[in-house]
Amino acid sequence: MGARRYSQYNIAEAKARLSSLVRETLAGAEVVIAKDNKPLVTLVPVKGHGRRVPGSAKGQVTMAPDFDAALADFSDYR
């Protein structure tokens, strides 16, 4: 098995490119921020803020059976 691959940026460059580095990280890339060419930190996405999973809220959102029924206050407008 080979060495793990990642993108490494020095602190100043990371500061200037923070938005793009966040996008890279969310897309699955490993981004390391270094000082004097020595890795200091790795950017990682917060759990739960990744890609959405279709159907993950199934059964959690409901509507009343009479949702489409006309409201009593508007009976004159039918």
39-54 pLDDT per residue, tens = 999 999 887 665 677 8
Structural domains of the chain, ranges and CATH numbers in brackets: 1-47 (3.40.1620.10)
Among candidate residues 7, 4, 5, 15, the one with its CA nearest the CA of residue 31: 7
12-40 pLDDT per residue, tens = 999 999 999 999 998 889 999 999 999 99
Task: Show Cβ contacts of residue 23 under 8 Å, excluding neighbours closer than 6 positions.
Answer: none
What one-letter code names the amino acid at 31?
V
Three-class HEC string of 33-61:
EEECCEEEEEECCCCCCCCCCCCCCCCCC
pTM of the model as a whole: 0.55
Quick one: tokens of 22?
Answer: 């966040």
